[in-house]
Structure 1
Amino acid sequence: MPSWTSIRTETSAAGSTHDVIRRQYIKRLADYTGRNVIVYYSGWLEKATLQAQGLQGFEVNDSDKNGFMATIHEMDRDKGLDLLLHTPGGNVAATESLVDYLKAMFQNVRVIVPQLAMSAGTMIALSASSIVMGKHSSLGPIDPQIGGVAAHGIVEEFQRAHREVREDPGTIPIWQPIIAKYSPTLIGECEKAISWANEMVKRWLMEGMFSGEDDPGQAADRVISELASHALTLSHDRHISLANAQRLGLNVEELEGDPELQDCVLSVHHSCIQTLAETPAFKIIENQNGIASIMAVNLRPA
């Protein structure tokens, strides 16, 4: 007969109703594809108020590596990996480290974007062998962020200030308080971050998605010239649709092309979003075996 302690442990491991339902759908997806599945979901949309109040951790960061290590442990890595990605992006260094780790663990990684994979999330998607998107899915520009501001935007603002002051010194009083908010070394940091992100993504595309092209470098440059150009994308928040991703030559599979896969993916997506909206959880990293790293906010009264 199970003891009180063992039953309590079993109950705790089973999780809430949200956990039970979500894990059921993640396993169903893995059973259908015959591949490993990891969901990486951020609740930046569902908990935007808490983010605005200073809650940290919604973005891609170095602590995520621990969640991936836990979920990948004991997987049959020969099955490859389907990574369901829903994120606003985050730190470039953490993104590089995470992608390098996934590439070391799996020879074939497919990224599935049920809704949004922006900024560093797009960079992760571009490192994959292929991307699955629906008509409702979006990628985004890959220009890096410095202190929450697009690096390209900061560089452009400095260049505009330099040009206008040179042409009309009378604009100095206008530009002085604007430029004063930036540190002296910021422009150099922005330029290095832009170059770093571009070189990183180009290498991933050449080694992965475009490795079979006649000229992988040229194919990669075509993608980077558009997704990394602030002048073309205009906003860091711009959404890149399935059709636009295909136009760029990316290896994109249409989710609607496989109705059963679509049903499995959207069931996982909806269950993850409901968890983020209706529980204290604000980030979920979880595999088809129910192994999870879930970050949650303490909502207890002060």
Structure 2
Amino acid sequence: MPNWGEVLKEIQETHKKYPGKNPLDIVRRKYLKKVSTVTSRNVIAYYSGWLQKPKAPDTAVNDKDKSGFMLTIHKMDKSKGLDLILHTPGGDLAATESLVDYLYSMFGHNIRVIVPQISMSAGTMIALSAKEIILGKHSNLGPIDPQMGGMACQAILNEFEDAKRDIKSNPHAASLWQVIISKYHPTFLGACKQAIDWSENMVSQWLIDNMCSDDTSKVGGIMKMFADHKKQKSHARHISKKQCEEVGLNIISLEDNKELQDAVLTTHHAFMHAFASTNAVKIIENHNGIAYVEQSVPSIPTK
């Protein structure tokens, strides 16, 4: 299996072999095609460059992504199902719901998610909508508790409840708590509660309809693992493959298929080189080389 440095060397050699052509595209698409060849399924890679460009706009899941998926799904044989390779920090809840609904309308429930490294927050929600998730020993998912202004909604509600209890038992504490809770207004607290209900109900239904359709009793434990802020403590918590298996998710080990492992991880390295060497901040690309590239300049569909 080519490592990061060997993939870079192949890109450099490809540049010499095919002058005037983009070696990053050639190498990346070669291995993305190989993933499809191994699985005999449609493949779409959804990659964000947030690790290389943490301050760049448009790295998160958003409504513009639908255009990329529409482009890459066009003309696919939907009966072959979809393997979706995910690498994302997460993003907008409404955009995530709309995207999953669209994928269901195209492929039914015949969707698998592959996580070569990390798929957090809304990315984990997308993974939980699949029938199976393929993870390596190094792969991570993350908590799905919604955020408001960078703060966990459940933590905000918990803090407000702590304030009420403390003030009730010790009225003199009111002046101290006032400084803290004055930043929260009733509408904001209500929005936090609604966001929690929305995300939990949505993901629970996806699990019931797809991954846990044969055993819905597992849904409660899965939601406890991924949606309970009190359990995970931080929205940035990395949840391991072992934890995913223990809680009852339908997990396939990437290491069980050496040929698929080689293709997926080499594809991953190729995407990382693309973000490091270009202005791209997000790439949605299929196994036929059709890609939607979001850059620091307007997005460019390519073939």
TM over 0.5: yes
1:56, 1:151 → 2: CA distance?
23
1:180, 1:90 → 2: CA distance?
27
Is 1:248 paired with 2:259? Answer: no
2:182, 2:97 → 1: CA distance?
32
Letter in 2 for 1:100: D
Is 1:89 paired with 2:90? Answer: yes
User: For residue 63 of structure 1, what is the aligned residue in structure 2?
Assistant: 64
1:59, 1:162 → 2: CA distance?
35
Alignment length (residue pairs): 278
User: For residue 209 of structure 1, what is the aligned residue in structure 2?
Assistant: 211
User: For residue 281 of structure 2, what is the aligned residue in structure 1?
Assistant: 282
Is 1:146 paired with 2:148? Answer: yes
Correspondence for 2:170 among 168, 172, 177: 168
Letter in 1 for 2:236: D
Conserved 8 A contact 2:134-2:251: yes
Correspondence for 1:136 among 132, 135, 138: 138
Sequence identity of aligned pairs in percent? 52
User: For residue 25 of structure 2, what is the aligned residue in structure 1?
Assistant: 19
User: For residue 5 of structure 1, what is the aligned residue in structure 2?
Assistant: none
Letter in 2 for 1:118: M
Q: Secondary structure at the match of 2:239?
A: coil
Out of 87-96 and 125-134, give the one that drifted further. 87-96
Correspondence for 2:200 among 181, 195, 198: 198
User: For residue 8 of structure 1, what is the aligned residue in structure 2?
Assistant: none
User: For residue 31 of structure 1, what is the aligned residue in structure 2?
Assistant: 37
1:134, 1:170 → 2: CA distance?
53
User: For residue 257 of structure 1, what is the aligned residue in structure 2?
Assistant: 256
Correspondence for 1:181 among 183, 190, 196: 183
User: For residue 73 of structure 2, what is the aligned residue in structure 1?
Assistant: 72
2:159, 2:21 → 1: CA distance?
49
Q: Secondary structure at the match of 1:185?
A: helix
User: For residue 266 of structure 1, what is the aligned residue in structure 2?
Assistant: 265
Tell me the alpha carbon deviations over residues 39-70 of structure 1, each in whole angstroms, 9 at most, x when there is no partner: 1011111111xx2xxx4211111110000000
Tell me the alpha carbon deviations over residues 25-49 of structure 1, each in whole angstroms, 9 at most, x when there is no partner: 111111111111101011111111x
2:164, 2:22 → 1: CA distance?
57
Letter in 1 for 2:24: H
2:27, 2:285 → 1: CA distance?
13
Is 1:222 paired with 2:221? Answer: yes
User: For residue 114 of structure 2, what is the aligned residue in structure 1?
Assistant: 112
Gaps of 5+ in 2: 1-17, 298-303
Per the TM alignment, residue 158 of structure 1 is displaced from its structure 2 partner at its CA by 1.3
User: For residue 236 of structure 2, what is the aligned residue in structure 1?
Assistant: 237
2:178, 2:22 → 1: CA distance?
55
Out of 175-184 and 35-44, give the one that drifted further. 175-184
Let me know the Cα RMSD of the aligned residues: 1.5
2:276, 2:169 → 1: CA distance?
52
2:232, 2:178 → 1: CA distance?
28
Tell me the alpha carbon deviations over residues 82-131 of structure 1, each in whole angstroms, 9 at most, x when there is no partner: 10001111111111100010011013100000111111111100000100
Tell me the alpha carbon deviations over residues 177-231 of structure 1, each in whole angstroms, 9 at most, x when there is no partner: 3222233311111111111111111110111011122xx1x21111112211111
1:162, 1:273 → 2: CA distance?
48
User: For residue 290 of structure 2, what is the aligned residue in structure 1?
Assistant: 291
1:139, 1:57 → 2: CA distance?
21
Per the TM alignment, residue 174 of structure 1 is displaced from its structure 2 partner at its CA by 2.6
User: For residue 14 of structure 2, what is the aligned residue in structure 1?
Assistant: none
Letter in 2 for 1:245: C
- Normalising by structure 1, report the TM-score: 0.89
Letter in 1 for 2:294: M
Per the TM alignment, residue 153 of structure 1 is displaced from its structure 2 partner at its CA by 1.4
Gaps of 5+ in 1: 1-10
